[in-house]
């Protein structure tokens, strides 16, 4: 499923990050706590939201 999502993102030139996590149970909590490049998957995901989706600007605008 994930590979087909990546193919769809590439087809429309969408910005995305894909970090395959091998050897982790298919439980969300275990995946989110997995570390690579010195940060958890959760931290990488939040960083993506703040950068690519400009989430920080959205939060500022609603305050």
HEC profile of 3-49: HHHHHHHHHCCCCCCCCCCCCCCCCHHHHHHCEECCEEHHHHHHHHH
pLDDT at 24: 62
pLDDT at 38: 92
pLDDT at 39: 92
d(CA 23, CA 43): 19
Give the global pTM: 0.49
Give 31-34's long-range contacts (Cβ < 8 A, gap of 24+). none
pLDDT at 6: 83
pLDDT at 15: 81
Q: What is the pLDDT along the chain (63 residues), one digit of tens a residue?
A: 567 878 888 999 888 877 776 766 667 777 788 888 899 988 988 888 777 777 777 777 777
């Amino acid at each position: 499923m994930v590979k087909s999502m990546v193919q769809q993102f590439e087809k429309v030139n969408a910005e995305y990050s894909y970090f395959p996590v091998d050897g982790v149970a298919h439980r969300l909590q275990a995946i989110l706590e997995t570390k690579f490049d010195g940060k958890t998957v959760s931290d990488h995901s939040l960083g993506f939201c703040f950068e690519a989706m400009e989430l920080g600007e959205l939060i500022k605008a609603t305050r």
